[in-house]
Structure 1
Amino acid sequence: MRYQDQLFEQRENLILDTARQLFAEQPWDRVTIAEVALAAGIGKGTVYKHFPSKEALYARLVLDLNRINLRELRALHAASSAQDAMHKVIRRAFEQMLANPIEAQLCLHCDRLEFQERLEAPLRQLFLDLEGEYQLFFADLLSTTFDNQTLSQADTQNLLWGVEACINGVMTRIASGGFTHWAEPIALDDYFARVTDFIIAGLRAQASELIAQPHRHE
């Protein structure tokens, strides 16, 4: 890598790290590019060379976090038995969100249609690519869980819709601060356990029904 490219990458990482720190200290949607630049010790124009808008900065933070999380989930899947893989992966996914509640809020924000439409085409494509990687991972996880029974792409997508709805619900709960403001607070660990069991039970029932459909054996 050329020296100039190394400097560019180091400065970009500095901007991202500074933004994460500021987002942890105050409402992330109120932090300005000027404040990021000041805290990083660089000019505002320099920040814009890396990230032309706050949306681009948000997008990069979310993309980076999801890539890191997906690598961890893949490694966990590879190290788990077929019986335990689905349970461990779902629970770990919840723990990843809990470890980064601010970035969970950012993930929800970046998933909105109006946000995606404001992004430049290359960034939108990166989100589509990431979604495809998660779908492939989910298909592989399903195959392991159901003894390598073949599910069609359409079947896998249908099952993923239900899982996504549950995971987005958990992400929203974490982003909103959990249950501490409820009259009778619920421990998040218990909540994660119940939702994980719910997801797996639903997947088993629906996948078994799909696998047993007569047209699959014609």
Structure 2
Amino acid sequence: MSFHDQQFELRQQAILQAALELFRVKPWDRVTIAEVAVQAGIGKGTVYKHFPSKEALYAQLVINDSQANIAEFRALHARLPKHEAMRTVTRHAFAKLLDDPVMAQLFMHCDRPDFQKRLDPEFRQQFDALEHEYLAFFTSMLNDTLGNPGLSVEDYERLLWSADACFTGAMARVAAGGIGHLCGRDELDAYLDQVTDFIMAGLHGMAGQMLQTRVEGTCESC
């Protein structure tokens, strides 16, 4: 990497760090590019050389965090017994969101199809690549968790859709700052433990139903 490229990368990281610092002290959707420039100690025009819009800045923050997360999840997975990995990684993912509700909010915002359609192709490609990487990783963990039951690709997709719906719902609660009148902030850990257990029980239950349906279908065709 050339010196110029190194300087460009360092300046981009400084912009992202400045944006995060501001997002954690005021609503992130109200922070302006001018404020980010002041926080980073550079000119407004320089910020635009890196990020043509606030949406591009949001996207890069989420992409960077997602890449770091999956690397962390893979390392955690490698240290765990196969049958424990998915529950532990899922609960760890919740803990990270709880520790950083601003990123949880940005994840929810950047996951919207209308948001991604407005992005430049390079960002959309990165989001697509991340989605495929996460899908492959969690499919592999789910297969280990269930004991390699021999489910079809379509079966795994349906299982992961259901798990994702539960995870996203809980993430929305975290992003909103809690779970309303049901409990306070101090009880969120217990809440997320229950959601994680619910996801795992649902995956095992649905997988069992899928296998039973397959057996019954095979018997009927005999």
Is TM more than 0.5 here? yes
Residues 18, 40 of structure 2: 8 Å contact kept: yes
Deviation at 1:155, TM superposition (A): 1.1
CA RMSD, 1 decimal? 1.7
Is structure 2 residue 162 aligned with structure 1 residue 167? no
In structure 2, the residue matched to 1:42 is 42
| Correspondences of 1:41-120 after superposition (within 5 Å) | 41-120=41-120
Post-superposition Cα deviations, 1:28-84, rounded to whole Å, max 9, x if no partner, equal: 000011110111111111111111111100000011111111111111111111231
State how far apart, in whole Å, the 2-side matches of 1:151 and 1:138 are: 14
In structure 2, the residue matched to 1:143 is 143
In structure 2, the residue matched to 1:153 is 153
How does the TM-score come out when normalised to structure 2?
Answer: 0.92
In structure 1, the residue matched to 2:191 is 191
State how far apart, in whole Å, the 1-side matches of 2:2 and 2:162 are: 46
Is structure 2 residue 201 aligned with structure 1 residue 182? no
Give the share of equivalent positions with the same residue, in percent.
50
In structure 2, the residue matched to 1:203 is 203
Distance 1:216 1:109, change over 3 A: farther
Post-superposition Cα deviations, 1:123-154, rounded to whole Å, max 9, x if no partner, equal: 01111110001100111101111222332221
> How many residues were matched structurally?
217
Is structure 2 residue 22 aligned with structure 1 residue 22? yes
Q: Secondary structure at the match of 2:82?
A: coil
**Matching residue's letter, 1:202:** G
- Unpaired stretches in structure 2, ≥5 consecutive residues: none
